[in-house]
Amino acid sequence: MLYNVMLFFHILGTVIMFVAVGITLTSMIAMLHAKKTETLRDWASLAVKIDGLLPLSVILILLPGLYLVFSTWGWQVAWINISLAALVVMAFMGSAINLRRLKIILTTANAETEIIPSSSLLKKVQDRTLWNSVIIMTMLGIAILFLMTVKLALVGSLIVFAISIILGFIVSNIVLKGVSPSKFSSVNESSNL
């Protein structure tokens, strides 16, 4: 019975993590296409607030997960060790990269006085490091979910994580390639006329 309860909280943590990352990605995409500073500010505020769910999700994933490892699986299982390492990396990326940059975007948006976002603000929204981090975190989360289901050995687990990181960079490049800086400068120039 305790195993099933711990498994429930472990899965609940995973669901919360995906919800938080999904809302963060939605907010970032909305910021990327925002035509008004106020809209961008609202989405940035949501992204910063929702980031608070990520530490909760890590706790809900980690604590019951450790119980499951000690009570049933053990530390000899490669997919568990690789998934744990990825979760630690994701927790670090979330706080050290994502939250810090999202707060900078929000602070800059709060300081804006013009209706149309400035090119300085838009450059912060297009921060490649932020986009790489959030999308790689999303792909790592999917990779962990895949390994929880398929339970691959060491080589397979490492390949899954390598693929998830590569896909993260590819998707990030596709998203940012679709938004050219010239698009924003023409919006700003037309608003000055």
Taken in order 113, 118, 120, 121, the sign of the CA dihedral is: positive
Residue 108: the pLDDT is 96
What's phi and psi for 74, nearest 5 deg?
A: 85, 170
- Of 18, 21, 15, 13, the residue nearest 98 (C-alpha): 21
Residue 188: the pLDDT is 44
Q: How much is the pTM?
A: 0.84
pLDDT digit string, tens, across residues 17-39: 899 989 999 999 999 999 999 99
**What are the distances in angstroms from CA 141 to CA 3, 48, 90, 107, 190?**
22, 20, 8, 29, 41
- Tens-level pLDDT at each residue, the chain (193 residues): 899 999 999 999 999 989 998 999 999 999 999 999 999 999 999 999 998 788 888 899 999 999 999 998 888 889 999 999 999 898 889 888 999 999 999 999 999 999 999 999 999 999 999 999 999 999 999 999 999 899 999 999 999 999 999 999 999 999 999 775 544 444 444 444 4
Query: Crossing angle, helix 100-111 and helix 37-50, to 10 degrees?
Result: 150
Residue 1: the pLDDT is 86
**What are the distances in angstroms from CA 100 to CA 48, 51, 123, 191?**
9, 10, 15, 30
d(CA 99, CA 97): 6
Residue 45: the pLDDT is 96
Whether residue 135 contacts residue 21, with contact meaning beta carbons closer than 8 Å, is answered with: no
User: 34 in the Ramachandran plot: left (φ > 0), alpha (ψ -120 to 50) or beta?
Assistant: beta
d(CA 31, CA 41): 8
